[in-house]
Structure 1
């Protein structure tokens, strides 16, 4: 069975605490297996480079984004069974020792339900500079980021001395109930090599499933001997950031394709749906997604 989850309401002016609570609880009641957050914190009025490498500007809903770890902490207390994950945190927006503590806190609050931490190198030069990170170093910084994160979730005392991060011999707690699996959101040739070397899962989206299968083969061909193959959580938007709309049946068909490819899970993204003008619009979209669950093996 391929599990099906949802990106949480996080973008745009109508997101609120009550909406997040109602959405998360209803998604859990319906049988969605996991809920996910994403990560941006500013909308550059004058943007350098293309949005995600493919568009001249970000979608307008990015002008307001609820913080990812804060949303996860709230959802952890509003739900009881659904798994939680990040798809995707931008490494440059965070510092690994602090992030390790924040995510461990979420995992403890949820009773061990933070099962997957997705990380990517990001694309926004403006966000990197706003937190004091040189955007040209974001790939190499990530190579040092992951070992710090894993060390902080391991046995105390923690110690790390690398090219970007220096953690003195320390006690860092709380620890997660079980260390989350790491998921890569990287797509470049170097990113796929990093995925093979350091990650448990990969998070493709906006590409045909067959292409994702081919790239997954490339990742696993580079996998160090003795490590389990990298798995996949595939991301599909009911409406893409470019405004391309899929029907619910088309999303369900994509989930069926992912199941045939033996992908572990699918994340359905609805933050960019143009009809969202009020909180009830989020809940109407959620109510329409029963066929998507069924395609993943969960009866309506």
Structure 2
């Protein structure tokens, strides 16, 4: 069909009684989150089923994972796919229940992320690997396989502290369906905080065909947003289909993707 990437999201439980606010456009979690395939397992399957399309994550919740075993799982996917795992996105997460289920205090999720990325990158670096941080300790070790090339790290964080982390630790930022002008302005603020001499943080824009609140964009509107993102110099556009109410099967999803041909035309132009 002409899509460049297939990306996954990350949720493993749907709390029936939710203590934290859902971090989306609706007042509560969308029904689509009642069942979500495991992200690394799904990417491993797609790596085997495909030959050329690139793979990524938007977004892995840092609190759902531990950096050393996750580094190995992601490297395995990259090796199995022949180096097609190009982008790994991370966010601090919003679900208190998910954090509690894996033994992570949700109050520490931001500070934990500050240590998570350096630990993950250490695992992808030269052996022997060693990391001593406030949350993670990795004794001098051989950690293999390594990725064929290090995936770009993408931040899905929005708070003031999250934007500081983005400037310090990430290669890309993943804004949602805000106005493109606002994306460009915020990206400028991020790069003003960037350490001198480092490549600037880029952005991959995310546009939901249907939002979690049920707001629907037409295919032409998504194509227009894609042209606008390209004109602003953004690196790419994710078309989010997770919440489209008509999708009840894999076949429904494929039919929807066929209708997105004008968006692909806009991207190519």
- Shorter-chain TM band: over 0.9
Matched, 1:139 2:139: no
Equivalent residue number for residue 149 of structure 1: 120
Q: Partner of 1:118: helix, strand, or coil? A: strand
Equivalent residue number for residue 182 of structure 1: 153
Matched, 1:97 2:62: no
Deviations 1:239-269 (A, max 9, x none): 0111100000000000001001010110101
Matched, 1:42 2:13: yes
> Higher relative contact order by CA 8 Å / sep ≥ 6: 1 or 2?
1
Equivalent residue number for residue 27 of structure 1: none
Equivalent residue number for residue 130 of structure 1: 101
**How far apart, in 1, do the equivalents of 2:167 and 2:231 lie?**
23
Mean Cα displacement is larger for which, 203-212 or 192-201? Answer: 203-212
Q: Partner of 2:19: helix, strand, or coil? A: coil
**How far apart, in 2, do the equivalents of 1:258 and 1:67 lie?**
30
Equivalent residue number for residue 121 of structure 1: 92
The answer to whether the 8 A contact 1:49-1:56 is kept is no
**How far apart, in 2, do the equivalents of 1:53 and 1:269 lie?**
13
What residue ranges of structure 2 are gaps of 5+ in the alignment? Answer: none
Q: Partner of 1:296: helix, strand, or coil? A: helix
TM-score under structure 1 normalisation?
0.88
**How far apart, in 2, do the equivalents of 1:295 and 1:114 lie?**
24
Equivalent residue number for residue 190 of structure 2: 219
Equivalent residue number for residue 106 of structure 1: 77
Aligned length: 269
Aligned residue runs from structure 1 range 1-300, under 5 A: 30-52=1-23, 55-297=26-268
The answer to whether the 8 A contact 2:155-2:173 is kept is yes
Deviation of 1:42 after TM superposition, in Å, equals 0.3
Deviation of 1:56 after TM superposition, in Å, equals 3.0
Deviations 1:207-258 (A, max 9, x none): 1111111110110110100101100111111101111000000000000010
Deviations 1:52-110 (A, max 9, x none): 06543101111101000011000011111111111000000000001000000000000
**How far apart, in 2, do the equivalents of 1:206 and 1:264 lie?**
15
**How far apart, in 2, do the equivalents of 1:55 and 1:242 lie?**
5
The answer to whether the 8 A contact 2:154-2:173 is kept is yes
Deviation of 1:280 after TM superposition, in Å, equals 2.1
What residue ranges of structure 1 are gaps of 5+ in the alignment? Answer: 1-29
**How far apart, in 1, do the equivalents of 2:139 and 2:228 lie?**
47
Equivalent residue number for residue 12 of structure 1: none
The answer to whether the 8 A contact 1:249-1:292 is kept is yes
**How far apart, in 2, do the equivalents of 1:93 and 1:192 lie?**
21
The answer to whether the 8 A contact 1:53-1:123 is kept is no
Q: Partner of 1:36: helix, strand, or coil? A: strand
The answer to whether the 8 A contact 1:112-1:177 is kept is yes
TM-score under structure 2 normalisation?
0.98
Deviation of 1:131 after TM superposition, in Å, equals 0.2
**How far apart, in 2, do the equivalents of 1:185 and 1:66 lie?**
20
